[in-house]
Amino acid sequence: MASVSLQRVRKSFGTFQAVKDLTLHIEDGEFLVLLGPSGCGKTTALRMVAGLETITEGTIRIGDRVANDLHPADRDVAMVFQSYALYPHMTVYNNLAYGLRRNGLPKTEIQSRVTSTARSLAIDSLLGRRPAQLSGGQRQRVALGRAIVRHPSVFLMDEPLSNLDAQLRIQTRVELMRLHQQLGVTTLYVTHDQVEAMTMGQRIVVMHDGQMQQVGAPLELYHEPRNLFVAMFLGAPQMNIALGQVAEEGDRLVFTCADFRISLSSKPRGGYPNRLNLGIRPQHAQVQAGVAPARGHTVLGRARVDLIEHLGSESYAFVTLNETMMVVQLPQDMRCRSGDVVNITVDPKFLHLFDPQTGDRIPLNNAGHTTDVAAK
């Protein structure tokens, strides 16, 4: 096993900068996820670690070796691709054994590794089949097995579950985490799927436009996003955003937009502009049937229900509060229909403020505790 370090790594294709000054350290044995939309540079970063892309500038270390000029075969990494990349004319056994044979391992060692790896992935009954005879999930397990059987220092995984159906993706995700717990191999995992990132990553790196936006534990990024991009990218449904004015009224800071006002009991740390974006996650807002708000919530105002979306264990209402459109969570035991007029409440502990120019989050001294909320 080995740690991986990237120091001010940059990759340019002509005048286009795919990765910009990426500095990152992945601990030995850590499972780290690169998360971001298509074209953000996450796969390019992974391919530079693998040696499949040359770096334009910077330093990559794998363990105690500088890997910039190392051939991919000399980096002691194993990569799992989105497309499986299996040899179609070979059996599962030979797909797993191929790399070991090329490295000159004894036949008994090859057989032992292939057998134990296949058993751990529940593909030991498929060793005599060819890829064309396998389902998509089975092919992905073989692709994972081909990486695992080599006992590399680092696993590199490029959206390995994206070709699987939803149920199989969940099952394979669990198997991957179980294998990581067993093997403890340093893993760099690329995905655009926030659910994969939040459930699998010990830490997540959010990337956008070739730059690292924030790195941290999943819940840290969810509750304390560094900027508006991170806040909007993590969380489903997306965070509600309202642009408004802020002004001091006595010892309070009051946020006012076209359709409601919120009086905060705490102020941002340091200076702040007089126009800010207010962020409210749908999970921290709620449709309220009765007059009294739920415990810890404060009434934001009256809204019309436009659409109900049922997601099994959770349901969300798309509502219009005067002219402001929002997505809010429905209590499990509540039934309402399109056209109903209901109270919308918020949990003031989870409000966020963002600078509309820079997108940076404005931290509060006593994050989001409110003492008064009134609809306009």
Q: Which CATH number goes with the domain that contains 272?
A: 2.40.50.140
The one-letter amino acid code at 43 reads: T
The whole domain housing 183 covers 4-232
Residue pair 35/54 in contact (Cβ under 8 Å)? The answer is: no
Q: Would the pLDDT of 266 be above 70? A: no
Nearest to 146 by CA among 75, 79, 101: 79
Q: Would the pLDDT of 199 be above 50? A: yes
**Residue 375's pLDDT is what?**
45
Task: Indicate if 40 and 155 belong to the same structural domain.
Answer: yes
Q: What is the pLDDT of residues 207-243, one digit of tens each?
A: 999 999 999 999 999 999 999 999 999 998 999 999 9
Task: Indicate if 183 and 252 belong to the same structural domain.
Answer: no
How many other CB atoms are there within 10 angstroms of residue 8's CB atom?
A: 11
When pLDDT is cut at 50, 70 and 90, the band that residue 366 belongs to is: low
Number of domains in the chain: 2
Task: Indicate if 190 and 281 belong to the same structural domain.
Answer: no
When pLDDT is cut at 50, 70 and 90, the band that residue 137 belongs to is: confident
Residue pair 354/276 in contact (Cβ under 8 Å)? The answer is: yes
User: In b/e form, how buried is each residue of 279-315, taking b as 16+ CB within 10 angstroms?
Assistant: bbbbbbbbbbeeeebeeebbbbbebebeebeeeeeeb
Task: Indicate if 198 and 268 belong to the same structural domain.
Answer: no
Task: Indicate if 30 and 101 belong to the same structural domain.
Answer: yes
Last residue of a domain, which of 217, 232, 247?
232
Task: Indicate if 208 and 289 belong to the same structural domain.
Answer: no
Query: Which segment, 30-34, 248-252, 291-295, 371-375, is predicted with the most confidence on average?
Result: 30-34
Last residue of a domain, which of 189, 205, 232?
232
Residue pair 195/222 in contact (Cβ under 8 Å)? The answer is: no
The more confidently predicted of residues 82 and 159 is 159
Angle between helices 92-102 and 107-120 (to 10 degrees): 130
Nearest to 121 by CA among 88, 95, 144, 98: 144
For the segment 267-290, the average pLDDT, to the nearest whole number, is 84
Q: What is the pLDDT of residues 142-151, one digit of tens each?
A: 998 999 999 9
Last residue of a domain, which of 196, 217, 232?
232
Residue pair 344/322 in contact (Cβ under 8 Å)? The answer is: no
Task: Indicate if 200 and 274 belong to the same structural domain.
Answer: no
